[in-house]
Amino acid sequence: HVATVVSGTGLARQIHKEVQSDIAKLVAQGNRRPHLSVILVGDNHASHTYVRNKTRTASLLGMSSSTIFRPASVSQEEMLELIDKFNRDRGISGLLVQLPLPEKDVDGFHIVNIGKLCLDQRCMVPATAAAVWEIIRRTGIETVGKNVLVVGRSKNVGMPIAMLLHSDRNHERPGGDATVIMAHRCTPLPRLKELTSLADIVIAAAGVPHLITADMVKEGAMVIDVGINRMQDPVTGKLRVVGDVDFEAVKVKAGFITPVPGGVGPMTIAMVMKNTVTAAKNAPTY
């Protein structure tokens, strides 16, 4: 038995096609071409890679984009001014400040938007949570009445994922109607093991390499790996990216599993594209 490996790259390709035809339609109707602006602070290598992936994808889909680089020494005042200026610029549909910021971890999510998310109102769903939601949906996995374990409670990943999955499917922003449990760094490992073994869907977002091992996972469960951990390969000495899940071992126990890389990552980028087009559609027409 081997789990179905759910390719985020493949699902992202589906979403790309949808977004691309959406953009073509918008432009054909005489609307401005959606534009994604990214503010990138400092020289964090991973951040530069993420931003390149986003702007490259944007152009492939027919969206224009621009990246504004600022040194790590940028002041909070200048950042706020930039964000304010871009928010008022009608040529910009979507604005993204790539996190983490080198010093001050400014919350990337507007309080009003998070408020709407928590009240099940229609809103811009944070891209990683939206990616996890779409992976479940497009794989055809049922969530209603199912046990979901979210490992990690960060405000930008774990929390919004749990928020989407536990809430009511009949609300304005439909939820997954699952029984959701959240584990975090204070959850003792034996307890984590109990919780994972009950879960129909495990979402690993802890930033701990190989935290989720095969013995913890229920046979046939869906395992979604949100972790992106850079690790030195003990054999080759090369840096490589691994998730929070022991992929090779869990693959032969789970029913569905997402790889790292090629799982949640490309889907997150696809959801940034979708959100930008949504923002372009929501923009007031003057």
Single out the catalytic residue among 89, 107, 168, 233: 107
Nearest approach in angstroms of CB 204 to ligand ADP is 9
Nearest approach in angstroms of CB 148 to ligand ADP is 15
Exposure of 101 in the CB half-sphere (CA atoms within 13 A): 17
What phi, psi does 245 have (nearest 5°)?
Answer: -115, 140
Nearer to ligand ADP, 95 or 226 (CB): 226
The C-alpha atoms of residue 78 and residue 1 are separated, in whole angstroms, by: 55
Q: Is 105 among the catalytic positions?
A: no
Nearer to ligand ADP, 208 or 279 (CB): 208
Nearest approach in angstroms of CB 214 to ligand ADP is 17
Single out the catalytic residue among 22, 98, 146, 177: 98
Nearer to ligand ADP, 82 or 182 (CB): 182
Binding site for ligand ADP (CB under 6 A): 151-154, 156-158, 183-185, 187, 192, 205-208, 211
Nearest approach in angstroms of CB 203 to ligand ADP is 10
Nearer to ligand ADP, 180 or 192 (CB): 192
Residue nearest ligand ADP, Cβ-based: 154
As given in the structure block, the two tokens for residue 153 are 């409670």
Q: Round to the nearest angstrom and report the end-to-end CA distance of the chain.
A: 58
Exposure of 2 in the CB half-sphere (CA atoms within 13 A): 5
Nearer to ligand ADP, 23 or 97 (CB): 97
Nearest approach in angstroms of CB 206 to ligand ADP is 4
Nearest approach in angstroms of CB 152 to ligand ADP is 3
Q: What is the largest CA-CA distance in the chain?
A: 60
- Burial per residue of 236-266, b for 16 or more beta-carbon CB atoms within 10 angstroms, e otherwise: eeeeeebbbbbbeebbebbbbbbbbebbbbb
Nearer to ligand ADP, 189 or 235 (CB): 189
Single out the catalytic residue among 54, 146, 253, 274: 54
Q: Is 54 among the catalytic positions?
A: yes
Q: Is 17 among the catalytic positions?
A: no
The C-alpha atoms of residue 52 and residue 205 are separated, in whole angstroms, by: 23
For the annotated catalytic residues, the residue numbers are 54, 98, 107
